[in-house]
Amino acid sequence: MYKIIVPYDFQELSDEALKQAYQLAAFVSGKILLLVVLDSELQTISSVFSKKIEASMQEEVTGRLQQVIAKAVSESGVEIGYRVETGRIYERILAVAREEKPRFIVMGRTSKRSALLRFGSNTMRVVEKSACPVITIPDLKTTSSFGKIVLPIDLLKQTREEVFNAISFGLFFDATICLVSVVMGGISERKSRIYSKMKKMKAMIEENGVRCTEKLFRKGDQSIHEMIVRYVEEVNADTVMIMTQQEGLGPSGSRYIGAVAHQIIDSSPVPVISLTSTAAIDSLSEKSRFWFNKLFPLKA
């Protein structure tokens, strides 16, 4: 099975996304699928001519992909395949993900538009609707390391998923988990519920052999996401891990991303691993999921 999908548009940022996927392939013992989507919205000529052009584009893209894959395999030793699809970018990415059932999607946060391809503007839609975790790559200066992971926490009820993903990444990559949160209102930090939650999470992470630090800010003039992004820069983090799905549903009955999570994804200087409660567990290896259920049994 392909366990990592990398939407690919031949831009430098998608090359960075591919490099980020190398280590993840080892993490989940899986293969990488490069997915190119030819944007159907750009085909405005008659259907007869568009079919001929699409066939020509498919042939050209396939040839270029094979060159990219040959180089990537020699660099990483990871098995890499490809698919070329036509349609609306985010819809085809999500459709292929439903079919392939990957552990991760890794894609650039933004991208230059070309004559044939464009998906930079579709990244957030993929994050919002994906059933698996999505890792967004912000720019070309990104490191492919997972050595220091910032984990913002709040008072929602996804603690068990957050903790175990942090532990799983921490153990595999020998990472340090940096917990961070923000106290609202006039209550003192040590009397706040978020302080108590952070202490419990830190203890659980350390009990499982992973290094962990903690930082609690008081809400000031800066917005919450700005404070978290500043902290990411202060500790020289490699990655941010966030839970994106708020409890409940949006007005249309669909899942939605909280404002803070959305802003972190949009402004983080390092890659962001976006998790939902279900995807947080599905992303793990079979062995990790076994230990997750043993450590955190569901209450009857």
Confidence at residue 71, expressed as pLDDT on a 0 to 100 scale = 95
Q: Is residue 142 part of a domain?
A: no
**pLDDT (tens digit, 0 to 9) for every residue of the chain, 300 residues total?**
778 999 998 888 899 999 999 989 988 889 999 999 987 665 544 444 455 556 777 788 888 999 999 999 999 999 999 999 988 889 999 999 999 999 999 998 864 444 344 445 688 889 888 888 999 998 766 677 899 999 998 766 566 777 888 888 999 999 999 999 988 777 777 778 888 889 999 999 999 999 999 999 888 778 889 999 999 999 999 999 998 764 444 444 344 567 888 889 888 999 999 987 555 555 554 555 554 455 444 332
**Could you please report the per-residue DSSP string of the chain?**
-EEEEEE--SSHHHHHHHHHHHHHHHHHT-EEEEEEEEEGGG--S-HHHHHHHHHHHHHHHHHHHHHHHHHHHHHH---EEEEEEEE-HHHHHHHHHHHH--SEEEEES-----SS---GGGHHHHHHH-SS-EEEE--TT-----SEEEEE--SSS-HHHHHHHHHHHHHHHTPEEEEEEEE-SSS-GGGSHHHHHHHHHHHHHHHTT-EEEEEEEEP-SS-HHHHHHHHHHHTT-SEEEEE-B-SS--TTSS--B-HHHHHHHHH-SS-EEEE-HHHHHHTS-HHHHHHHHHHSPPP-
Question: For residues 24-40, b (16+ Cβ closer than 10 Å) or e, as one string?
Answer: bbebbebbbbbbbbbbb
Q: Is residue 300 part of a domain?
A: no
Domain boundary among 137, 167, 191: 137
Same domain, yes or no: 130 and 52 = yes
Same domain, yes or no: 152 and 281 = yes
Q: Provide φ and ψ at 221, rounded to 5°.
A: -70, -30
Q: Is residue 112 part of a domain?
A: yes
Confidence at residue 121, expressed as pLDDT on a 0 to 100 scale = 66
Same domain, yes or no: 76 and 186 = no
Q: Is residue 143 part of a domain?
A: no
Same domain, yes or no: 131 and 244 = no
Domain boundary among 137, 156, 184: 137
Same domain, yes or no: 118 and 173 = no
Q: How far apart are CA 162 and CA 106, in angstroms?
A: 19
Same domain, yes or no: 45 and 121 = yes
Same domain, yes or no: 126 and 235 = no
Task: Please name the amino acid found at residue 246.
Answer: Q
Domain boundary among 137, 157, 177: 137
Same domain, yes or no: 92 and 21 = yes
**Residue 13 half-sphere exposure toward CB, CA atoms < 13 A:** 21
Cβ distance 60 to 54 under 8 Å? no
Same domain, yes or no: 30 and 105 = yes
CATH number of the domain residue 225 falls in: 3.40.50.620
Same domain, yes or no: 87 and 219 = no
Confidence at residue 21, expressed as pLDDT on a 0 to 100 scale = 94
Domain extent, residue 8, equals 2-137
Domain count, the chain: 2
